[in-house]
Amino acid sequence: MAETILKVVDLTINFSGLKAVDTLNFEIEKGEIFGLIGPNGAGKTTTFNMISGALKPTSGEVWLNGQRIDGNYMYQTNKLGIARTYQNINLFRSMTVLENLLVGQHCRLHSGLFPAIFRTPKEKKEEEAAVQKARDTLEFCGLGHKEDTYSSSLSYGEQRILEIARALVSDPVLIILDEPAAGMNPTEKNSLADLVKRIRARGITVLLVEHDMKFVMGITDRICVLNYGKRLALGTPAEVQANPEVIEAYLGGGD
Ligand X SMILES: Nc1ncnc2c1ncn2[C@@H]1O[C@H](COP(=O)(O)OP(=O)(O)OP(=O)(O)O)[C@@H](O)[C@H]1O
**Using CB under 6 A as the criterion, which residues of the chain lie in contact with ligand X when the complex forms?**
15, 20, 38, 40-46, 87
Q: Does 220 bind Mg ion (CB under 5 A)?
A: no
Q: How far is the CB of 60 from ligand X (least distance, A)?
A: 15
Q: Is 70 left (phi over 0), alpha (psi -120 to 50) or beta?
A: beta
Q: Which does 137 bind (CB under 5 to 8 A by kind): ligand X, Mg ion, none?
A: none
Q: What's the gap between Cα 14 and its chain centre?
A: 23
CA distances from 201 to 33, 165, 167 (A): 11, 15, 16
Q: How far is the CB of 122 from ligand X (least distance, A)?
A: 42
**Distance between CA atoms of 130 and 23, rounded to whole angstroms?**
41
Q: How far is the CB of 209 from ligand X (least distance, A)?
A: 7
Between residues 47 and 100, which has the closer beta carbon with respect to ligand X? 47
Between residues 46 and 159, which has the closer beta carbon with respect to ligand X? 46
Between residues 90 and 120, which has the closer beta carbon with respect to ligand X? 90
* CB-CB contact of 133 with 105 (8 Å): yes
Q: How far is the CB of 163 from Mg ion (least distance, A)?
A: 15
Tell me the torsion sign for CA atoms 135, 138, 140, 146: negative
* CB-CB contact of 40 with 46 (8 Å): no
Q: Which does 83 bind (CB under 5 to 8 A by kind): Mg ion, ligand X, none?
A: none
Number of residues that this document lists for the chain = 255
Residue at shortest CB range from Mg ion: 45
Between residues 43 and 104, which has the closer beta carbon with respect to ligand X? 43
Between residues 174 and 226, which has the closer beta carbon with respect to ligand X? 226
Q: How far is the CB of 46 from ligand X (least distance, A)?
A: 3
Neighbouring residues of 187: CB distance < 8 A, sequence distance ≥ 6: none
Pair type for strands 222-227 and 230-235: antiparallel
* CB-CB contact of 137 with 202 (8 Å): no
Between residues 38 and 180, which has the closer beta carbon with respect to ligand X? 38
Q: Which does 144 bind (CB under 5 to 8 A by kind): Mg ion, ligand X, none?
A: none
* CB-CB contact of 188 with 157 (8 Å): yes
Q: How far is the CB of 164 from Mg ion (least distance, A)?
A: 17
Q: Does 45 bind Mg ion (CB under 5 A)?
A: yes
Sites of contact with Mg ion (CB under 5 A): 44-45, 87
